[in-house]
Structure 1
Amino acid sequence: MRNDDLSKVIYDYQTARLAFTPQFQMYLNQGMRLACLELPSLTPSSVFQSDFKILNGLEKIQVHMNADFLILSSWLSVLPSIHPTLNEFWLLHYIHDRSACHTAPSLSSFLDESRQQDLEKFISIRQVGLCRALGHHSQEWHVMGIVLKTELLCTSLLEILMLAASSFPKLKTLSLDLILLKTIYNINDFASVLAQFSSLRVLFLKNVLRCP
Protein backbone atom coordinates (compact mmCIF):
# COMPACT_ATOMS: atom_id res chain seq x y z
CA MET A 1 0.00 0.00 0.00
CA ARG A 2 1.42 3.39 -0.97
CA ASN A 3 1.92 6.04 1.69
CA ASP A 4 -0.97 8.02 0.23
CA ASP A 5 -3.24 4.98 -0.23
CA LEU A 6 -5.71 4.68 2.66
CA SER A 7 -8.08 2.24 0.96
CA LYS A 8 -7.59 -0.35 3.73
CA VAL A 9 -8.43 2.14 6.51
CA ILE A 10 -11.98 2.25 7.92
CA TYR A 11 -12.79 5.14 10.27
CA ASP A 12 -15.45 3.87 12.66
CA TYR A 13 -17.36 7.06 13.57
CA GLN A 14 -17.21 10.79 12.97
CA THR A 15 -19.40 13.86 13.49
CA ALA A 16 -20.32 16.11 10.59
CA ARG A 17 -18.41 18.98 12.19
CA LEU A 18 -15.14 17.08 11.73
CA ALA A 19 -16.02 14.85 8.78
CA PHE A 20 -16.26 17.81 6.41
CA THR A 21 -13.01 19.51 7.45
CA PRO A 22 -10.33 19.82 4.74
CA GLN A 23 -7.97 17.41 6.51
CA PHE A 24 -10.57 14.65 6.94
CA GLN A 25 -11.72 15.14 3.35
CA MET A 26 -8.10 14.72 2.27
CA TYR A 27 -8.01 11.29 3.94
CA LEU A 28 -11.26 10.36 2.20
CA ASN A 29 -9.81 11.41 -1.14
CA GLN A 30 -6.94 9.01 -0.45
CA GLY A 31 -9.38 6.11 -0.14
CA MET A 32 -10.20 6.01 3.57
CA ARG A 33 -13.73 4.85 4.36
CA LEU A 34 -16.08 6.22 7.01
CA ALA A 35 -18.46 3.67 8.56
CA CYS A 36 -20.77 5.94 10.61
CA LEU A 37 -21.60 9.64 10.29
CA GLU A 38 -23.51 11.69 12.87
CA LEU A 39 -25.43 14.70 11.57
CA PRO A 40 -26.94 17.50 13.68
CA SER A 41 -29.78 18.00 11.18
CA LEU A 42 -30.85 17.47 7.59
CA THR A 43 -31.24 20.04 4.83
CA PRO A 44 -32.83 19.43 1.43
CA SER A 45 -29.67 19.97 -0.62
CA SER A 46 -26.86 18.73 1.63
CA VAL A 47 -27.31 15.10 0.57
CA PHE A 48 -26.32 16.07 -2.98
CA GLN A 49 -23.20 18.08 -2.04
CA SER A 50 -19.91 16.76 -3.39
CA ASP A 51 -18.24 16.48 0.03
CA PHE A 52 -21.10 14.25 1.22
CA LYS A 53 -20.83 12.02 -1.84
CA ILE A 54 -17.17 11.17 -1.20
CA LEU A 55 -17.89 9.56 2.20
CA ASN A 56 -16.63 6.22 0.95
CA GLY A 57 -18.08 3.03 2.41
CA LEU A 58 -20.70 4.77 4.54
CA GLU A 59 -22.80 2.15 6.35
CA LYS A 60 -24.69 4.12 9.00
CA ILE A 61 -26.04 7.64 9.56
CA GLN A 62 -27.23 9.03 12.89
CA VAL A 63 -29.35 12.20 12.88
CA HIS A 64 -30.54 14.43 15.70
CA MET A 65 -34.17 14.92 14.78
CA ASN A 66 -34.55 18.67 14.52
CA ALA A 67 -35.34 18.34 10.83
CA ASP A 68 -38.55 18.30 8.84
CA PHE A 69 -39.75 14.75 8.27
CA LEU A 70 -40.48 15.48 4.62
CA ILE A 71 -36.79 16.28 4.22
CA LEU A 72 -36.03 12.98 5.94
CA SER A 73 -38.20 11.16 3.42
CA SER A 74 -36.38 12.74 0.50
CA TRP A 75 -33.04 11.75 2.02
CA LEU A 76 -34.11 8.14 2.45
CA SER A 77 -35.27 7.97 -1.16
CA VAL A 78 -31.96 9.14 -2.67
CA LEU A 79 -29.38 7.76 -0.22
CA PRO A 80 -29.28 4.21 -1.68
CA SER A 81 -28.18 5.55 -5.07
CA ILE A 82 -25.53 7.86 -3.56
CA HIS A 83 -24.27 5.41 -0.93
CA PRO A 84 -25.12 1.82 -1.91
CA THR A 85 -23.30 0.49 1.18
CA LEU A 86 -25.57 2.44 3.56
CA ASN A 87 -27.96 0.13 5.44
CA GLU A 88 -28.78 1.87 8.76
CA PHE A 89 -30.34 5.26 9.47
CA TRP A 90 -30.88 6.22 13.13
CA LEU A 91 -33.12 9.03 14.39
CA LEU A 92 -31.49 9.90 17.71
CA HIS A 93 -34.23 12.14 19.06
CA TYR A 94 -37.42 10.78 17.59
CA ILE A 95 -40.58 12.89 17.96
CA HIS A 96 -44.08 11.45 17.48
CA ASP A 97 -45.22 13.07 14.27
CA ARG A 98 -47.80 11.76 11.82
CA SER A 99 -45.77 12.96 8.83
CA ALA A 100 -42.94 10.63 9.89
CA CYS A 101 -44.94 7.48 9.38
CA HIS A 102 -44.53 7.21 5.63
CA THR A 103 -40.77 6.73 6.12
CA ALA A 104 -41.54 3.33 7.68
CA PRO A 105 -45.17 2.11 7.55
CA SER A 106 -44.71 -0.03 10.68
CA LEU A 107 -44.30 3.18 12.71
CA SER A 108 -47.77 4.23 11.63
CA SER A 109 -49.20 0.87 12.67
CA PHE A 110 -47.55 1.04 16.09
CA LEU A 111 -48.67 4.61 16.80
CA ASP A 112 -52.23 3.99 15.60
CA GLU A 113 -52.63 0.84 17.70
CA SER A 114 -51.06 2.42 20.79
CA ARG A 115 -53.59 5.26 20.58
CA GLN A 116 -56.53 2.91 20.05
CA GLN A 117 -55.47 0.77 23.02
CA ASP A 118 -54.81 3.86 25.18
CA LEU A 119 -51.15 2.87 25.58
CA GLU A 120 -49.51 5.91 24.01
CA LYS A 121 -49.38 7.86 27.28
CA PHE A 122 -47.33 5.11 28.94
CA ILE A 123 -44.44 4.95 26.47
CA SER A 124 -42.20 7.29 24.52
CA ILE A 125 -40.05 6.45 21.52
CA ARG A 126 -36.60 7.95 22.09
CA GLN A 127 -34.73 6.58 19.07
CA VAL A 128 -35.64 4.73 15.90
CA GLY A 129 -33.28 2.75 13.70
CA LEU A 130 -34.26 2.17 10.08
CA CYS A 131 -32.70 -0.55 7.95
CA ARG A 132 -32.76 -0.74 4.19
CA ALA A 133 -34.53 -3.76 2.77
CA LEU A 134 -32.50 -6.37 0.92
CA GLY A 135 -31.50 -5.43 -2.57
CA HIS A 136 -28.67 -3.29 -3.89
CA HIS A 137 -30.93 -0.46 -5.04
CA SER A 138 -33.81 -0.93 -2.62
CA GLN A 139 -35.45 2.28 -1.34
CA GLU A 140 -37.67 0.49 1.16
CA TRP A 141 -36.84 1.00 4.85
CA HIS A 142 -38.14 -0.88 7.89
CA VAL A 143 -37.69 -0.48 11.66
CA MET A 144 -34.75 -2.57 12.87
CA GLY A 145 -34.05 -0.86 16.21
CA ILE A 146 -36.00 1.13 18.77
CA VAL A 147 -35.40 2.77 22.14
CA LEU A 148 -38.49 2.89 24.39
CA LYS A 149 -38.94 4.62 27.74
CA THR A 150 -41.86 4.11 30.09
CA GLU A 151 -43.82 7.21 31.15
CA LEU A 152 -46.52 8.19 33.66
CA LEU A 153 -46.06 5.26 36.06
CA CYS A 154 -46.63 2.75 33.29
CA THR A 155 -48.89 -0.21 34.12
CA SER A 156 -49.07 -1.76 30.64
CA LEU A 157 -45.53 -2.82 29.75
CA LEU A 158 -46.39 -6.31 28.52
CA GLU A 159 -49.18 -4.99 26.30
CA ILE A 160 -46.80 -2.39 24.83
CA LEU A 161 -44.15 -5.01 24.12
CA MET A 162 -46.66 -7.35 22.47
CA LEU A 163 -47.79 -4.49 20.24
CA ALA A 164 -44.18 -3.64 19.37
CA ALA A 165 -43.46 -7.28 18.52
CA SER A 166 -46.38 -7.43 16.10
CA SER A 167 -45.65 -3.99 14.59
CA PHE A 168 -41.91 -4.50 14.08
CA PRO A 169 -41.36 -8.12 12.95
CA LYS A 170 -37.81 -7.35 11.72
CA LEU A 171 -36.69 -5.62 14.92
CA LYS A 172 -33.10 -6.62 15.77
CA THR A 173 -32.24 -4.17 18.57
CA LEU A 174 -34.54 -3.25 21.47
CA SER A 175 -33.63 -0.89 24.31
CA LEU A 176 -35.99 -0.46 27.28
CA ASP A 177 -35.70 2.19 29.98
CA LEU A 178 -38.23 1.23 32.69
CA ILE A 179 -37.58 4.18 35.01
CA LEU A 180 -41.28 5.01 35.46
CA LEU A 181 -42.61 1.47 35.45
CA LYS A 182 -45.18 1.06 38.24
CA THR A 183 -46.16 -2.60 37.95
CA ILE A 184 -43.82 -5.43 38.99
CA TYR A 185 -43.93 -8.36 36.55
CA ASN A 186 -42.96 -11.98 36.90
CA ILE A 187 -39.67 -12.58 35.07
CA ASN A 188 -41.15 -15.55 33.20
CA ASP A 189 -44.02 -13.43 31.86
CA PHE A 190 -41.52 -10.78 30.80
CA ALA A 191 -39.34 -13.36 29.03
CA SER A 192 -42.35 -14.91 27.33
CA VAL A 193 -43.31 -11.58 25.76
CA LEU A 194 -39.73 -10.87 24.67
CA ALA A 195 -39.70 -14.25 22.92
CA GLN A 196 -42.30 -12.87 20.49
CA PHE A 197 -39.59 -10.66 18.93
CA SER A 198 -38.53 -13.34 16.46
CA SER A 199 -35.70 -11.31 14.87
CA LEU A 200 -34.34 -9.76 18.08
CA ARG A 201 -30.56 -10.06 18.48
CA VAL A 202 -29.65 -7.29 20.96
CA LEU A 203 -31.55 -6.32 24.13
CA PHE A 204 -30.63 -3.40 26.40
CA LEU A 205 -32.41 -3.05 29.75
CA LYS A 206 -32.21 -0.03 32.06
CA ASN A 207 -33.86 0.39 35.48
CA VAL A 208 -35.29 -3.10 35.13
CA LEU A 209 -34.68 -4.46 38.66
CA ARG A 210 -36.91 -3.55 41.60
CA CYS A 211 -36.12 -4.09 45.27
CA PRO A 212 -38.90 -5.79 47.27
Structure 2
Amino acid sequence: MSLSASQPVEPVGPVEPRGQSALHHRPAVVTAAAAILGLLALLNLVNAILHLAAINAILNRLRVRAVLEGVNPADLNAIETTLKTALIVSALLLVLVAIILLALAWGVWQGNRPARILTWVACGLGVLLACCGLSGATSLGTANVTVQGGGDPSVTRGAQALVDSFPGWWAALTGLSSAAQILGYIATAVLLALPAANAFFNRTRALPPATTPPPTV
Protein backbone atom coordinates (compact mmCIF):
# COMPACT_ATOMS: atom_id res chain seq x y z
CA MET A 1 0.00 0.00 0.00
CA SER A 2 1.33 3.41 -0.89
CA LEU A 3 0.75 6.60 0.94
CA SER A 4 0.45 9.89 -0.85
CA ALA A 5 1.64 13.04 0.80
CA SER A 6 0.81 16.46 -0.44
CA GLN A 7 3.17 19.31 -0.02
CA PRO A 8 1.79 22.17 2.06
CA VAL A 9 0.62 25.11 0.04
CA GLU A 10 1.35 28.55 1.41
CA PRO A 11 -1.81 30.59 1.77
CA VAL A 12 -2.18 33.45 -0.63
CA GLY A 13 -3.39 36.67 0.90
CA PRO A 14 -6.32 38.56 -0.54
CA VAL A 15 -5.63 40.77 -3.50
CA GLU A 16 -6.03 44.43 -2.66
CA PRO A 17 -8.60 46.25 -4.77
CA ARG A 18 -7.57 48.81 -7.32
CA GLY A 19 -5.65 51.67 -5.75
CA GLN A 20 -5.98 50.33 -2.20
CA SER A 21 -2.25 50.13 -1.48
CA ALA A 22 -1.69 53.54 -3.08
CA LEU A 23 -4.33 55.12 -0.89
CA HIS A 24 -2.45 53.90 2.16
CA HIS A 25 0.53 55.98 1.03
CA ARG A 26 -1.14 59.13 -0.24
CA PRO A 27 1.54 61.87 -0.41
CA ALA A 28 1.06 65.17 1.36
CA VAL A 29 1.05 67.10 -1.92
CA VAL A 30 -2.04 65.22 -3.12
CA THR A 31 -3.77 65.72 0.21
CA ALA A 32 -2.98 69.44 0.07
CA ALA A 33 -4.25 69.73 -3.51
CA ALA A 34 -7.56 68.06 -2.63
CA ALA A 35 -7.90 70.29 0.44
CA ILE A 36 -7.30 73.44 -1.60
CA LEU A 37 -9.95 72.36 -4.11
CA GLY A 38 -12.37 71.88 -1.23
CA LEU A 39 -11.59 75.35 0.11
CA LEU A 40 -12.09 76.86 -3.34
CA ALA A 41 -15.46 75.14 -3.55
CA LEU A 42 -16.40 76.58 -0.15
CA LEU A 43 -15.30 80.04 -1.27
CA ASN A 44 -17.54 79.83 -4.31
CA LEU A 45 -20.49 78.78 -2.16
CA VAL A 46 -19.92 81.74 0.15
CA ASN A 47 -19.79 84.09 -2.83
CA ALA A 48 -23.04 82.62 -4.17
CA ILE A 49 -24.77 83.23 -0.84
CA LEU A 50 -23.48 86.80 -0.74
CA HIS A 51 -24.74 87.42 -4.26
CA LEU A 52 -28.24 86.34 -3.32
CA ALA A 53 -28.22 88.10 0.05
CA ALA A 54 -27.11 91.43 -1.44
CA ILE A 55 -29.80 91.66 -4.13
CA ASN A 56 -32.29 93.72 -2.11
CA ALA A 57 -29.63 96.04 -0.67
CA ILE A 58 -28.15 96.76 -4.10
CA LEU A 59 -31.58 97.33 -5.64
CA ASN A 60 -32.48 99.81 -2.88
CA ARG A 61 -29.24 101.70 -3.44
CA LEU A 62 -29.91 101.67 -7.18
CA ARG A 63 -33.33 103.26 -6.75
CA VAL A 64 -31.93 106.02 -4.57
CA ARG A 65 -29.06 106.68 -6.98
CA ALA A 66 -31.44 106.65 -9.94
CA VAL A 67 -33.62 109.34 -8.34
CA LEU A 68 -30.59 111.50 -7.63
CA GLU A 69 -29.30 111.02 -11.17
CA GLY A 70 -32.72 111.73 -12.74
CA VAL A 71 -33.06 108.39 -14.49
CA ASN A 72 -36.19 107.72 -16.53
CA PRO A 73 -38.49 105.26 -14.63
CA ALA A 74 -38.78 103.02 -17.69
CA ASP A 75 -35.00 102.79 -17.94
CA LEU A 76 -34.78 102.12 -14.21
CA ASN A 77 -37.14 99.15 -14.45
CA ALA A 78 -35.03 97.62 -17.22
CA ILE A 79 -31.84 98.14 -15.22
CA GLU A 80 -33.38 96.58 -12.11
CA THR A 81 -34.47 93.49 -14.05
CA THR A 82 -31.05 93.11 -15.65
CA LEU A 83 -29.24 93.52 -12.34
CA LYS A 84 -31.43 91.03 -10.49
CA THR A 85 -31.13 88.46 -13.27
CA ALA A 86 -27.35 88.87 -13.44
CA LEU A 87 -26.91 88.38 -9.68
CA ILE A 88 -29.11 85.27 -9.61
CA VAL A 89 -27.44 83.70 -12.64
CA SER A 90 -23.97 84.43 -11.25
CA ALA A 91 -24.96 82.83 -7.93
CA LEU A 92 -26.16 79.68 -9.70
CA LEU A 93 -22.94 79.50 -11.71
CA LEU A 94 -20.91 79.79 -8.52
CA VAL A 95 -22.83 76.90 -7.01
CA LEU A 96 -22.18 74.83 -10.14
CA VAL A 97 -18.47 75.63 -9.98
CA ALA A 98 -18.41 74.61 -6.31
CA ILE A 99 -19.99 71.24 -7.14
CA ILE A 100 -17.44 70.62 -9.91
CA LEU A 101 -14.55 71.50 -7.61
CA LEU A 102 -15.84 69.15 -4.92
CA ALA A 103 -16.09 66.33 -7.46
CA LEU A 104 -12.54 67.02 -8.64
CA ALA A 105 -11.28 67.12 -5.06
CA TRP A 106 -12.78 63.69 -4.41
CA GLY A 107 -11.28 62.30 -7.60
CA VAL A 108 -7.83 63.67 -6.76
CA TRP A 109 -8.12 62.29 -3.23
CA GLN A 110 -8.88 58.84 -4.64
CA GLY A 111 -5.98 58.97 -7.09
CA ASN A 112 -8.14 59.16 -10.20
CA ARG A 113 -5.94 60.13 -13.13
CA PRO A 114 -8.72 61.64 -15.32
CA ALA A 115 -9.69 63.81 -12.35
CA ARG A 116 -6.11 65.03 -12.16
CA ILE A 117 -6.15 66.06 -15.82
CA LEU A 118 -9.54 67.73 -15.50
CA THR A 119 -8.28 69.57 -12.43
CA TRP A 120 -5.45 71.09 -14.46
CA VAL A 121 -7.99 72.24 -17.05
CA ALA A 122 -10.21 73.69 -14.33
CA CYS A 123 -7.24 75.47 -12.76
CA GLY A 124 -6.40 77.16 -16.06
CA LEU A 125 -9.97 78.32 -16.60
CA GLY A 126 -10.26 79.34 -12.96
CA VAL A 127 -7.19 81.55 -13.12
CA LEU A 128 -8.51 83.23 -16.26
CA LEU A 129 -11.93 83.93 -14.76
CA ALA A 130 -10.45 85.05 -11.45
CA CYS A 131 -8.22 87.53 -13.28
CA CYS A 132 -11.33 88.95 -14.97
CA GLY A 133 -13.02 89.21 -11.59
CA LEU A 134 -10.02 90.95 -10.10
CA SER A 135 -9.95 93.45 -12.95
CA GLY A 136 -13.67 94.12 -12.55
CA ALA A 137 -13.35 94.58 -8.80
CA THR A 138 -10.52 97.07 -9.30
CA SER A 139 -12.59 99.24 -11.62
CA LEU A 140 -15.88 98.84 -9.73
CA GLY A 141 -16.90 101.98 -7.91
CA THR A 142 -14.30 104.13 -9.67
CA ALA A 143 -15.65 103.89 -13.22
CA ASN A 144 -17.33 106.92 -14.72
CA VAL A 145 -19.86 106.27 -17.47
CA THR A 146 -19.73 108.86 -20.23
CA VAL A 147 -21.98 109.52 -23.20
CA GLN A 148 -20.40 108.53 -26.50
CA GLY A 149 -21.80 109.05 -29.97
CA GLY A 150 -24.86 110.95 -28.81
CA GLY A 151 -26.20 108.22 -26.54
CA ASP A 152 -29.32 108.62 -24.44
CA PRO A 153 -28.37 110.65 -21.34
CA SER A 154 -30.99 108.85 -19.26
CA VAL A 155 -29.46 105.47 -20.07
CA THR A 156 -26.01 106.80 -19.27
CA ARG A 157 -27.18 108.16 -15.94
CA GLY A 158 -28.83 104.81 -15.22
CA ALA A 159 -25.61 102.96 -15.95
CA GLN A 160 -23.72 105.30 -13.64
CA ALA A 161 -26.33 104.75 -10.93
CA LEU A 162 -25.89 101.02 -11.38
CA VAL A 163 -22.13 101.27 -10.90
CA ASP A 164 -22.57 103.43 -7.82
CA SER A 165 -25.21 101.12 -6.31
CA PHE A 166 -22.68 98.45 -5.35
CA PRO A 167 -21.46 98.97 -1.77
CA GLY A 168 -17.81 99.57 -1.07
CA TRP A 169 -17.29 96.17 0.56
CA TRP A 170 -18.43 94.46 -2.65
CA ALA A 171 -15.37 95.51 -4.63
CA ALA A 172 -13.03 94.68 -1.75
CA LEU A 173 -14.56 91.26 -1.17
CA THR A 174 -14.60 90.44 -4.87
CA GLY A 175 -10.97 91.47 -5.22
CA LEU A 176 -9.82 89.40 -2.24
CA SER A 177 -11.84 86.40 -3.39
CA SER A 178 -10.43 86.61 -6.91
CA ALA A 179 -6.86 86.92 -5.63
CA ALA A 180 -7.35 83.93 -3.30
CA GLN A 181 -8.72 81.86 -6.16
CA ILE A 182 -5.78 82.72 -8.41
CA LEU A 183 -3.31 81.59 -5.75
CA GLY A 184 -5.36 78.48 -4.96
CA TYR A 185 -5.64 77.33 -8.57
CA ILE A 186 -1.94 77.90 -9.22
CA ALA A 187 -0.96 76.06 -6.02
CA THR A 188 -3.22 73.12 -6.91
CA ALA A 189 -1.79 72.80 -10.42
CA VAL A 190 1.78 72.91 -9.11
CA LEU A 191 1.14 70.37 -6.34
CA LEU A 192 -0.37 67.87 -8.77
CA ALA A 193 2.66 68.20 -11.06
CA LEU A 194 5.24 67.33 -8.40
CA PRO A 195 7.10 63.98 -8.59
CA ALA A 196 5.35 62.62 -5.49
CA ALA A 197 1.98 63.21 -7.12
CA ASN A 198 3.18 61.56 -10.35
CA ALA A 199 4.19 58.43 -8.44
CA PHE A 200 0.88 58.34 -6.57
CA PHE A 201 -1.31 58.57 -9.67
CA ASN A 202 0.84 56.11 -11.63
CA ARG A 203 0.61 53.32 -9.05
CA THR A 204 -3.18 53.30 -8.75
CA ARG A 205 -3.46 50.81 -11.59
CA ALA A 206 -5.17 47.50 -11.08
CA LEU A 207 -3.02 44.83 -9.47
CA PRO A 208 -2.59 41.60 -11.48
CA PRO A 209 -4.65 38.69 -10.14
CA ALA A 210 -2.72 36.30 -7.93
CA THR A 211 -2.51 32.65 -9.04
CA THR A 212 -2.72 29.81 -6.56
CA PRO A 213 -0.32 26.94 -7.36
CA PRO A 214 -2.07 23.56 -7.64
CA PRO A 215 -1.37 21.07 -4.84
CA THR A 216 1.09 18.33 -5.67
CA VAL A 217 0.31 14.72 -4.81
TM-score interval, smaller chain: under 0.3
- Return the TM-score normalized by structure 1: 0.23
Q: Which structure shows the bigger proportion of residues in helix conformation?
A: 2
Q: Name the structure, 1 or 2, with higher relative contact order (CA <8 Å, separation 6+).
A: 2
